[in-house]
Chains A and B, each alone.
Chain A
Amino acid sequence: MTMRGFKNHPYIPNSNLKTQQKMLEEVGLKSLEDLHFEIPEELKFKGEMNLPKPYGSEFELNRAIGKILNKNTSSNEYLNFLGAGCWQHYVPSICDEVNSRAEFLTGYAGEPYNDHGRFQTLFEYESLLAELVDMDVVNVPTFDWAQAAATSLRMASRITNRSEALVVGTICPDRLLIITNYCDPGVKITLINYNKKTGKMDLDDLKKKVTNNTAAIYFENPSFLGFIEDQGVEISKIAHDAGAISVVGVDPSSLGILASPTSYGADIICGDLQPLGMHMNYGGNQSGFISTRDEEKFVLEYPSRLFGVAPTIKEGEYGFGDIAYERTSFGNLREKGKEYVGTQTALLGITAGVYLSLMGPYGMFELGQNIMQKSLYAIEELSKIKGVKGSKFNSIGFKEFVVDFNDTNRTIEDINKKLLAKGIFGGKDLSNDFPELGQCALYCVTEVHLKEDIDTLINAIREIIEG
């Protein structure tokens, strides 16, 4: 069967036969078949694309896909205690309102004039996040935390002209996979051991592994396993004494109450914006940031775009543009530019800017405090259940914590299955990724969990374990 096309389709104005005919005449062609003249016959697809029949109307489309999506059970319907790199926070209505605006949603790569809004909102995002992390420079967002960390390590490697990075042993295994692939070849990744009681970095192991080829030491706060790494000053000193760069990954939702990594010597800070006003979207709203001091040696190593403010020819007017554009792969250097740049997650950067504008200093403080209190409460209550330790590590944490079920003689898999039956998504099973921890799960508590939600979880686990 030959293709006939789909005439009068609402998305394709010139699928209207009359218009089509008129246009063909004007360009001197007889039919649509005369187009694609340059493609030789042997390359033309002779078969038939075996695709499902399209829905006949917007109504039917909406209804049919809605029906498929209804097979999902969302975290609005069940209680969710999963975190591990994607976190359920409250998304203020204004965030959705702004990022649904067609002007932003369907914008792309215009110039600083017609796309003034994109430039100003992203400049403001950079500036707001710079205050939160207490640094000078923030990039237009990259893909996710892992990408930001990987680029940070490559930046460090170029700055130091060295080819090894030491990475915290409690890093999220998926994040490590992304970093390892991105840094391969060029930067060799070595993990540093951690203290099995506190979770914190084993500084003796770190000292053993640091060499004169170490470009960077990378650690996180809070760590992937939730605890706060409070040896930052020592770690940064070890890095600096060895001529390496201190790179710290942070969850920005903690920074209303936790010290910024600049206070313990970080040279490059990276992390994920998703907690700042983004829905979880099945992991599709992760967005990475990188931040440094305003020093030429750092700025010139960013692969990302950096939007800056400048005067216009009219007094009293703000204008915007790209800082040091030539360093990027969009400049004249192509493959000689820094890594590469392209479509990443700009809309999520704009959204994070909206979020921080709404939250202000007190909002970020209260958010942090709320999460601290609720996670402490959950840990304490979990510890009251027979055989359960609310926190495997004896360090204080933020938002996430490793719950130890080893003494219950039950597997996390079994517990989570039973929790699911009670309408609860239990914490992430760590038994595969961190077998040395045995039967432990990573739980996440945020401001969206009310006391009654935490109590529901506690009661459910108690019922499962104590019967």
Chain B
Amino acid sequence: MKRIVRNTKVRDFHQARWNEPIIFELSCKGERGVLVPGSEEAIANQVGDGISRIPLSMRRNSLPNLPEINQKRVLMHYLRLSQENLGGDMNIEIGQGTCTVKYNPKVNDRIANTHKVTALHPLQDESTVQGILEVIYKTDLIMRQISGMDYFSFQPGGGSQATMTMASIVRMYHRVRGEEERRDEIITTVYSHPSDAAAPALKGYKIITIMADKNGHPDFEAFKAAVSERTAAFVVANPEDTGIFNPRVKEFTALVTKAGGLNCYDQANANGLFGIARAKEAGFDMCYFNLHKSFGTPHGCGGPGSGAVGVVKELKEFLPKPLVGFNGEEYFLDCNIKSSIGKVKAFIGTPQVVLKAYAWIMSLGAEGLYEVAKVASLNNVYMIKKLLEYDGITVPYKVDTQRIEQARYTMEKITQDTGITSGDISRRVMDFGMHIWSSHHPYYIPEPITLEPTESPSKDDLDEYIATLHHIFDEAYNNPDIIHSAPNNSVTHQVDESSFDDPKLWCPTWRVYLRKTKED
């Protein structure tokens, strides 16, 4: 027979398309998905039906309107929907810049899915949870080395909650010093994550956003003018979401320190910095890491994650309680934190995520973390070089500024030439089993694309991704209709979004949909 020719980098792809009904449409009266244990006869004989003991006004009058579905059909429904979700394990996940979607080792899930973790109640006697406390404590010690900070709390369940925690610490710090009223401003930068502005605003701060200078760095002169005795803190990412590292960051933090404010480091973009640069040397008083990003734990479609907050020793007294301590023999929950902000998340946060991060670190060690940072950076620099070989896509500001672990690109020229926008490209790339993300809003960089390869893809993976984007750019010039109609080979076709902002039409649940679409 003839040799089968496979000489193209661009994949001929079609995502699963099951056209599944909404779960309520699967209901068949009388079917059961799972049986619930009943009370033993002796119990029922002794206490009766239980229900009639509830005050009449507090009894539910009718059963909840949930569907009745057999077990296999429920499973089939969800398995089909899972096939209609392009998880990080499945695709070359480069397109979710700022999100650090890297490989999540399966062994870590296995370690965390035993009853020695899943069946622990958070209020069990400390003597019965020494294992999980040991893991948390040891991860704290490791985080201290990575950042130069002195103590870590693993309570926040995500990056934004970690930023809120930092802002809470800032408020409590100034409250204790009697400067809370006067210090009412927090400074951030335009290319830091929106939560670096939004979470401090929740904590009552006026937000000052520093724009970028011509090199893409936060404008130092504007910053200098913004710092004053009203400055409570500076909250910033570095590198920022453009991938550009601010080399003068220490001058920024020094100004804030001198003015009596605190420096808070959003380390969501830490993946290219392990063993290379730390929060401490840059003059930060606190920082946080996303364990579900840089430390290889799964994103879970958006949590549970973990935003580990580290502080210098002077700020330990403000951390949420409890911390995990060690007295040389036993690990314990330390609630003795003088000016604690209290709590930000139930119990001690998401210990299963901390455990997976610990396992990830223990598979790499210091040399491995350094390798992660170097390769994440190499992959990024390679990606930029190759992508920019196409005339029409570039990186804003100076092209030869070496980006760290990610880059925000602009395809403005392609849009000007063809009318095809980055949003259009985002739909088309799905036809190749890939994903691409533009940028947070508002778009300060026109027609943005933000790509973060991480250390996970191979060179072949990178080349496939690059070839696919180039192929789509060609289409923009030569066959724009295929982009206009995209996605063509994805799960569904273009959604009619006209209802989403109209209170009369939007349908946030099935019951509302049935009501609003009822035919007369």
Contact = CB atoms under 8 A, between A and B. Distances in A.
Contacts of B413: none
Contacts of B355: 65, 69
A314 B372 CA distance: 44
B1 interface: no
Nearest to B207: A335
A348 B304 contact: yes
A307 to B, nearest CB: 7
A92 B34 contact: yes
6 contacts: A3-B367, A45-B277, A72-B116, A94-B71, A230-B58, A281-B351
A445 B500 CA distance: 43
Contacts of A425: 121, 123-125, 128
A204 interface: no
A287 B158 CA distance: 12
Interface stretch (A73-81, A205-213, A402-410): A73-81
Given A282-B132, A447-B36, A340 B87 contact: no
Interface in A39-80: 39-40, 42-45, 48-55, 58, 61-62, 64-66, 68-78, 80
B: interface residue count bin:
35 or more
A103 to B, nearest CB: 4
Q: What 8 A-B pairs have minimum CB-CB distances, sorted nearest first?
A: A283-B347, A342-B160, A117-B85, A283-B122, A372-B50, A319-B495, A358-B33, A54-B365
B121 A282 contact: yes
A346 B303 contact: yes
Contact of B40 (A73, A103, A451): A451
Nearest to A33: B374
A299 B512 CA distance: 13
A268 interface: no
B448 interface: no
A55 to B, nearest CB: 6
Interface string B481-520: 0000001001111111111110100111111110000000
B60 A104 contact: no
B346 A144 contact: yes
Contacts of B23: 124, 127-128, 353, 357
Contact of B375 (A14, A38, A324, A359): A14
B63 A376 contact: no
B328 interface: no
Interface string A12-52: 11110001101110111100100111111011110011111
B301 A72 contact: no
Nearest to B364: A54
B117 interface: yes
A363 B33 contact: yes
B207 A104 contact: no
Interface string A279-297: 1111111110000001110
Given A6-B364, A117-B85, A363-B32, A75 B119 contact: yes
B371 A9 contact: yes
Interface stretch (A83-91, A237-245, A457-465): A83-91
Given A358-B74, A363-B36, A373-B47, A114 B86 contact: yes
A343 interface: yes
Contact of B135 (A68, A84, A122, A264): A68
Contacts of B478: none
Contacts of B63: 256, 361-362, 364-365
A181 B510 contact: no
B115 interface: yes
A447 B37 contact: yes
B160 A343 contact: yes
B424 interface: no
